[in-house]
Amino acid sequence: MKVKALKNGPYIVEIKGKIKVIKGGKEEEMDAKVLALCRCGHSNNKPFCDGSHAKVGFQAEEVEVEAE
């Protein structure tokens, strides 16, 4: 798994294999390769990014973490 915090943007999570997302008591299994997660706090689709960071002028550094 790799997590990137994009400069002035969301967390991008790259995943190998299946993932399970539980939101609002509902469970969904996905074969996702990439998820964009909000880190500005303004998304209307939390925890996922909806692009609100650009509208509110969110600023933050770029960071990358990788695990095997």
Taking the whole predicted model, whether its pTM rises above 0.85 is answered as no
Task: Return the CATH number at 28.
Answer: 3.40.5.90
30-60 confidence digits (pLDDT tens): 876 899 999 999 999 999 999 999 999 999 9
Q: Which residue has the tokens 């925890």?
A: 47
Confidence of residue 19 (pLDDT cuts 50, 70, 90): confident
If one counts the domains in the chain, the total is: 1
3-16 confidence digits (pLDDT tens): 999 999 999 999 88
Q: Which domain holds residue 49?
A: 2-57
C-beta of residue 39 within 8 angstroms of C-beta of residue 60: yes
- Identity of the amino acid at 60: A
- Identity of the amino acid at 5: A
Residue 42 resides in a domain:
yes
What's the order of all strands across the beta sheet hosting 11-14?
Answer: 34-37, 11-14, 2-5, 63-66
Confidence of residue 29 (pLDDT cuts 50, 70, 90): confident
